[in-house]
Amino acid sequence: MKATQKLHDAGQSIWLDNITRNLLTSGGLRRYINDYSVTGLTSNPTIFDLAIKNSADYDDTIRRKNAGGKRGEQLFFELALEDCTAAADLFRPIHDRTNRVDGWVSLEVSPKLAYDASSTVAAARELHAQGGRPNLFIKIPGTREGLPAIEESIFAGIPINVTLLFSREQYLAAANAYMRGVERRIAAGLNPYVPSVASLFISRWDVAVNKKVPEAMHDRIGIAIARRTYKAYLDLLASDRMLRLINFGARSQRLLWASTGTKNPKASDVLYVAALAAPHTINTMPENTLTALADHGNIGPMLSHNVEDAEKELAGFVRAGIDLDATAEQLQREGAESFVKSWDDLMSRIEEKTAQLKKAG
């Protein structure tokens, strides 16, 4: 049995952190679903930027939409929705079979709206409506500025993937925004079942810290942060507040491990998969991590509920001069800035592609 199947059977969802038109049209995504137990997918502007840059798969659609007067963001979202809805249709049987727990596809709102909660909620509502699929998550960053938009979107009934979380504290802030939205729905007499996931980024911790600590401590802090957050997640799932919401018909927000591709060539290519196997969580993997897991990965014991070892390890990083709170804030701030840059690059790519196609006739 492949490690992917073992992980799925243990109760962790495997999502693909990639989408391209070719992956859909070639049957590649369907094969990952059938052979590698993939049950969901995440996307981001960088993924779409590379897909448009490195292939001609979108050229005919871009020509057609250009002829209809579509440019810039409007053109991109129409391209992205075509891909995401096609993927959502492939995952729909999983979505139905798991009673909406799994089978999701994620699409991100424009990061240009990061400091405008009302515009973010309006964009999330519009994108979800345009997608017309029940298994489409809209991604909103879990920054301080994003939290009100997350709460309002949940209250509006929009399924949300909270992204850009780097610490237990940031996760709890996002989870509280989610629960506030659900509680407001209950108070308003609305259906409290609005699905959501909270995405904790892992490998960026090690990229940021490895150069500041001895080699023996390399590639360990991201997993320790994840284990600390997992304990908070379990505590929240068992809390009176969450149990009350579940009693009204809500579902818990699931924890998702993001940024799980190994960046250090000296480390295992499935480092963040083997270490973070846990039921009722999700691991969204780059394509090369997914195929490595299926080829030679090994799934050991599930992630321990006991975080004493993780806390001891994190204390060691503090003694080595790492300010955990400040680093988490820095990583989130840099991540938000990176999202904006990726978005700008994507818009430039679409303009460039449009000009090329117009010149070619």
Residues 6+ apart with CB under 8 A from 39: 8, 13, 14, 15, 33, 91, 94, 98, 102, 103
Q: What is the DSSP letter of 44?
A: -
Residues 305, 234: contact at Cβ < 8 Å? yes
- 139 as an active site residue: the answer is yes
Query: What count of other Cβ atoms lies within 10 Å of the Cβ of residue 292?
Result: 19
Q: Considering 6, 53, 112, 139, which one is annotated as catalytic?
A: 139
Residue 301, SS3 per DSSP: coil
Q: What length is written for the chain? A: 361
Q: Phi/psi zone of residue 189: left (φ > 0), alpha (ψ -120 to 50 degrees), beta? A: left
Burial of 213 (0-12, 13-18, 19+ CB in 10 A): middle
* Residues marked as catalytic: 139
